[in-house]
């Protein structure tokens, strides 16, 4: 039995050991060979992904006294996290060489962050969820400030750390209150003990509310979103891409488990709260994004808005809603990584070429890059025949099936608003004359070219033929209590 438990933890062990190896190799690797570290990190994610395959489709089970759950839900998210980490590590190699930050600990931190995200998705206990959050958070705090000679990067790291520490304290206090009222931190035990009471203790309600605040920070829900624009703008662009998709997906994975496995009896309470947060998040994100002239800040507010869309599926709290959330997270990952891959390639030395005016006339200078970025923006806006449209369609459909017609209508209206700022960037690329002082874009490195091609195909494929990923998402949901 012990051997079986260890085998089920093999992907996490691979990530941690690979991260430790990279840390140990760093002092012995010549400056010109640091790119090898990135390739080792990518290889580690591929090996870990293959080791997850035997876990798909097995009977759901829990190990480590119920703290770690092995089921299709956890496998689905671990695969997603490994893809995100591998893509970001691969696209970081040339960027890090250009910015003189190509060091082994960078890739080690990405692997450690991936292991933390995996723990969050597979956790069946609040303690393990907290540990996963902290592993992820500490790694991303450092990655956000990895450009030590850049004051913007230092500022983003410090802001992220201070606000993240505050949110962690709130989260931990919520866990303490729940433990005090139920006597356990296990999701299953919390549900069973709470159902034994005639009425839910006030400490349990307050603890759940504090958990929502903590997770609201992690997934950038309004009004816990203030850190996102500054951190996304100041962090190295590959790190921004990672933070925009990885921690957000991990936060929603953990939130789904907690709400639907530990607190299903409070669904009326938390669904009402999330209904309001969804409207506030998607509305503020889209409205403020209209005002941005910095592309990274625009994509930051776009990420906030998309967190609001994802909440629509959680509010529905049905099998269709969970499937739609999982499907949308795949779509969201692909189209955001595509957008950030182009922004990364065009940013040039200093990671500064990120304003709207810098994209003027891009279609004439780099037509393929402009076309790929335009496709990402069209998908983010939810235009038909793209993955973004299909993702929103299934989210809003799940909400309508559960009677949340108003929420779905507000979501559609917000999608209409988002068209303005996404298409504004396209207008700059195709209809504006470039500034004479704007430098010519550098040639896109072959790793980023390969990633862009694959992501472009994925966005189109998911918009035209989403059935395979939809089926995968449907088989990755867990039983609702």
- Judge whether 58 lies within some domain: no
Number of domains observed in the structure of the chain: 1
- Judge whether 419 lies within some domain: yes
Report the C-alpha gap between 456 and 452 in whole angstroms. 6
CB atoms within 10 A of CB 397: 15
Q: What angle do CA 12, 326, 309 make, to 5 degrees?
A: 125
pLDDT for residue 1 is more than 80: no
- Judge whether 323 lies within some domain: yes
- Judge whether 203 lies within some domain: no
- Judge whether 349 lies within some domain: yes
Mean pLDDT confidence for 178-202: 83
Report the C-alpha gap between 312 and 2 in whole angstroms. 40
Give residue 4's pLDDT. Answer: 55
pLDDT digits (tens, 9 = 90+) for 271-301: 889 999 999 999 999 999 998 888 888 888 9
Give residue 356's pLDDT. Answer: 81
Give residue 355's pLDDT. Answer: 78
**Parent domain of 363:** 268-481
Mean pLDDT confidence for 243-269: 89
pLDDT for residue 437 is more than 70: no
Are the C-beta atoms of residues 381 and 422 closer than 8 Å to each other?
yes
**Stated pTM of the model:** 0.92
pLDDT for residue 478 is more than 80: no
CB atoms within 10 A of CB 372: 23
- Judge whether 120 lies within some domain: no
Report the C-alpha gap between 43 and 40 in whole angstroms. 5
pLDDT digits (tens, 9 = 90+) for 97-156: 877 777 878 899 999 999 999 999 998 899 999 999 999 999 999 888 887 777 777 888
pLDDT digits (tens, 9 = 90+) for 56-95: 888 888 887 878 888 889 999 999 999 999 998 888 888 8
Residue among 149, 152, 45, 30 nearest 92 (CA): 45
Report the chain's mean pLDDT, rounded to a whole number.
86
> What are the b/e assignments for 399-434, b being 16+ CB within 10 Å?
bbebebeebbebbeebbebbbebbebbbebbbeeeb
- Judge whether 189 lies within some domain: no
| Bridge partners, 68 (sequence order) | 63, 123
Are the C-beta atoms of residues 442 and 343 closer than 8 Å to each other?
no
CB atoms within 10 A of CB 364: 12
Report the C-alpha gap between 465 and 476 in whole angstroms. 19
Give residue 438's pLDDT. Answer: 60
Give residue 350's pLDDT. Answer: 58
Report the C-alpha gap between 228 and 156 in whole angstroms. 9
- Judge whether 301 lies within some domain: yes
Give residue 348's pLDDT. Answer: 67
Report the C-alpha gap between 171 and 206 in whole angstroms. 11
């Amino acid at each position: 039995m012990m051997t079986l438990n260890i085998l089920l933890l093999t992907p996490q062990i691979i990530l941690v050991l690979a991260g430790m190896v990279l840390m140990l190799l760093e002092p012995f690797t010549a400056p010109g060979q640091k790119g090898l570290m990135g390739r080792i990190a990518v290889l580690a994610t591929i090996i870990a992904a293959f080791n997850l395959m035997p876990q798909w489709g097995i009977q759901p089970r829990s190990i480590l006294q119920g703290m770690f759950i092995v089921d299709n839900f956890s496998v689905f998210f671990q695969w997603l996290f490994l893809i995100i980490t591998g893509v970001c590590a691969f696209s970081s190699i040339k960027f890090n060489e250009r910015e003189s930050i190509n060091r082994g600990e960078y890739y080690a931190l990405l692997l450690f962050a991936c292991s933390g995200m995996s723990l969050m998705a597979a956790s069946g206990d609040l303690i393990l969820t907290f540990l996963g959050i902290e592993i992820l958070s500490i790694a991303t705090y450092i990655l956000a400030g990895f450009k030590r000679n850049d004051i913007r990067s230092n500022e983003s790291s410090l802001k992220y750390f201070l606000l993240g520490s505050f949110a962690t304290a709130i989260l931990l206090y919520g866990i303490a209150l729940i433990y005090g009222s139920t006597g356990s931190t296990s999701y299953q035990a919390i549900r069973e003990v709470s159902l034994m009471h005639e009425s839910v203790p006030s400490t349990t309600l307050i603890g759940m509310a504090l958990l929502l605040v903590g997770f609201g920070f992690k997934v950038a829900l309004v009004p816990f979103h203030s850190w996102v624009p500054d951190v996304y703008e100041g962090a190295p662009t590959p790190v921004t891409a990672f933070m925009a998709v990885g921690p957000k997906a991990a936060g929603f994975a953990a939130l789904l488990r907690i709400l639907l496995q530990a607190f299903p009896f409070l669904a009326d309470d938390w669904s009402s709260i999330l209904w309001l947060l969804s409207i506030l998040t998607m509305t503020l994100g889209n409205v403020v994004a209209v005002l941005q002239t910095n592309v990274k800040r625009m994509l930051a507010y776009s990420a906030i808005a998309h967190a609001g869309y994802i909440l629509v599926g959680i509010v529905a709290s049905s099998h269709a809603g969970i499937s739609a959330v999982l499907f949308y997270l795949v779509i969201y990952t692909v189209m955001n990584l595509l957008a950030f891959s182009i922004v990364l390639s065009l940013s040039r030395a200093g990671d500064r070429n990120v304003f709207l005016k810098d994209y003027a006339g891009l279609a004439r200078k780099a037509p393929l890059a402009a076309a790929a970025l335009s496709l990402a923006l069209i998908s983010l806006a939810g235009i038909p025949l793209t993955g973004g449209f299909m993702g929103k369609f299934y989210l809003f459909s799940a909400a309508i099936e559960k009677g949340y017609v108003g929420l779905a209508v507000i979501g559609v209206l917000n999608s209409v608003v988002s068209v303005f700022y996404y298409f504004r960037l396209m207008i700059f690329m195709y209809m504006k004359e470039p500034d004479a002082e704007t430098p010519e874009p550098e040639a896109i490195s072959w790793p980023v070219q390969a990633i862009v091609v694959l992501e472009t195909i994925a966005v189109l494929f998911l918009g035209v033929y989403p059935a395979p990923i939809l089926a995968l998402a449907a088989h990755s949901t867990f039983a609702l209590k």
